[in-house]
Homo-oligomer: A and B are copies of this chain.
Amino acid sequence: MKTQEMIAAHPRKPMMEVSVITECINALVECAEACTSCADACLGEEMVQTLTKCIRVNLDCADVCQTTARILVRQTDAVPQLMRAQLDSCVVACRICAQECESHAEMHQHCRICRTACQNCEKICQEMLSRLPAGSTFL
């Protein structure tokens, strides 16, 4: 995967180790894709009626992860406070989506895969949060 190479080729010094940023971006991108795919797979199930909440939280989680990934990819003039707020939102989105997918995991393989992607993403976002510079107070 090119993420590590791209971050390493950036003219600005990253805020923390490249491997940490890279792992978080990869988890976010993978989770966004799993959620987009799970929403669509649920839509294709005969029992879609029982999966509407799952589709909805999948769509939210995909959007939130994609936006969070873009913010973390950007290294120029990064603002820790926004990284923190968006990672917080992402943790919530992943937790809700993992919880909903869990309830369909015995029935649907796509919910099982998506649950694991969300759990992994939540964990890695939490780690990222714990390494961010202490909350600035400039706002």
Contacts and interface: CB of A to CB of B under 8 A. Distances in A.
Contacts of A76: 40-41, 43-44, 52-53, 56
A85 B77 contact: no
B5 A113 contact: yes
A37 B7 contact: yes
Q: How many copies does the complex hold?
A: 4
Interface of A: 1-3, 5-7, 9-12, 25, 29-30, 33-34, 36-38, 40-41, 43-46, 48-49, 52-53, 55-57, 59-60, 63-64, 66-67, 69-71, 73-79, 81-82, 85-86, 88-89, 91-93, 95-96, 99, 108-110, 112-114, 117, 139
Contacts of A34: 2, 6
